[in-house]
Amino acid sequence: MSEDKRPLILIADRQLATLLSLDALLSLEGYQVTTCSSSFEALKAVARKKVDLVVAGRVGPERHATLVSKIKTISPETNVLVLTESDEDSIFAESIAAGADGLLRRPYSESQVIERVNRLLHVVQT
């Protein structure tokens, strides 16, 4: 049995609607997708297998920057895209300082998600 070479994306968010919609969208784009609803589960997943990209929404009481920092400590090569509802520049600055590779403010469009994910995974659109 051959190993799947498609990039693996982990979607981490406590909102089921976000998990389902992003899972469906990115699966249709041809990515392997897995989901979780807590930072603990996200960190376990990143430690267990090679995750190419974590799409990190709100998964607990900790700040985005804390989760990003922990992911980067476990797996420095994993890209992290932070989803936020906030317009606060401090959230963006903290996330980038912690090692986030991209940021996306809600509400976002499907095309914005696809473009950002493809860019972070260096996928060329034809």
Return all residues near 71 (Cβ < 8 A) that are at least 6 apart.
42, 43, 46, 54, 56, 78, 80, 99
Residue % of the chain over a pLDDT of 70: 91
Question: What CATH number is given for 31-57+64-88+98-126 in this structure?
Answer: 3.40.50.2300
Q: What digits encode the pLDDT tens for the residues 77-113? A: 999 999 987 766 777 789 999 999 999 998 899 999 9
Closest listed residue to residue 119, CA positions, set 94, 102, 105, 107: 102
Alpha helices, DSSP H, located in 5-109: 16-28, 39-48, 64-74, 89-98
Residues above pLDDT 90, as percent of the chain: 75
CA-to-CA dists, residue 9 to 5, 47, 53, 61, 88, angstroms: 12, 14, 5, 22, 26
Q: Which residue's structure tokens are 């799409």?
A: 55
Amino acid at 45: A
Q: Is 70 helix (H, G, I), strand (E, B) or coil?
A: helix
What is the pTM (predicted TM-score) of this model? 0.91
Q: Reduce the DSSP state of residue 92 to 3 states and report it.
A: helix
Tell me whether the omega of the peptide bond preceding residue 61 falls within 30 degrees of 0, making it cis: no
Give the start-to-end residue ranges of the domains of the chain.
Answer: 31-57+64-88+98-126
